[in-house]
Chain A
Amino acid sequence: MKINQHTTDHTLTLVLDGELDASSSVLLDTELNQPSILEYQKVLIDCQRLNYISSAGLGVFISHLQRFQDANVKLVFFNMQEKVHNVFEILGLDSLLTIVPSEAEATAI
């Protein structure tokens, strides 16, 4: 699992590359736990190269969602592969999280 990031003005984009499981999700948790992340207006999660997610990865997003909402930081997922999106759907997380097809739509939110 690799996490690259880039920033523009008030937006931080995290680019996930690989498989997010009980072993690698610690890395993502560390990234989202940075206090400075709450200074952005939006955190975009680029999922194009995210090939797998387990409950450990989902749990990291679930655990930070309220903290982001309290700080008025929008968390938006985009470019998600069908098999990964399906995992969010199985739990109904697609209705609790903001998931859009493309980066353009994520940027427009």
Chain B
Amino acid sequence: MKNAIRVSCTRRNLKVVRDFVSEFLEHYKLSELHINQIVLAVDEVVANLIIHGNSEDESRFLDVRLSMKNQEFGIEIEDESPTSYSPASYREPDLQEFVRIGKKGGVGMMLVNRIMDRVEFTTQGLHNICRLHKKIV
């Protein structure tokens, strides 16, 4: 079963990564709803890295690796963006305020944090790695 993929930083590859994660998860007995949630969490992080971290520069790449160990699904998403996401700066958004001011973005990480059990961002040298974990019960 394929568990790693490398994609260039274009929005067209969001669907490629979603299909890759879906196909991996279909080997486990998960409901359509749970598969969709995990695919969504990965899509949100990948979209952030492609659009914000790498400015949709198609000469840059993301590596996505998947694993399943001890009933826990793990995802690693690695890039070499000069900027890295700082989870310490995250504040849960007020959606009613977003509606009032007509704000278009900013709820992606809210979805990721609510869906996944653990969300970690680390930087090692030039490499930024995001790790997402979800217990599969």
Contact = CB atoms under 8 A, between A and B. Distances in A.
Interface of A: 19, 21-23, 29, 52, 54-56, 58-60, 62-67, 82-83, 86-87, 90-93, 96
A25 B12 CA distance: 12
B36 A23 contact: no
Contacts, number: 91
A59 B108 CA distance: 9
Contact of B102 (A21, A66, A93, A96): A66
28 contacts: A19-B15, A21-B18, A22-B14, A22-B51, A23-B11, A23-B12, A52-B36, A52-B40, A54-B40, A54-B108, A55-B44, A56-B47, A56-B105, A58-B107, A59-B104, A60-B104, A62-B102, A62-B107, A63-B104, A64-B102, A65-B99, A66-B99, A66-B101, A67-B102, A82-B32, A83-B33, A86-B36, A90-B111
B111 A23 contact: no
- Main secondary structure, interface of B, reads helix
A65 B14 CA distance: 26
B106 A59 contact: yes
A83 B32 contact: yes
A74 B110 CA distance: 27
Contacts of A65: 99, 102
A91 B114 CA distance: 8
A62 B95 contact: yes
Contacts of B39: 52
Contacts of B50: 22
Contacts of A56: 47, 105, 108
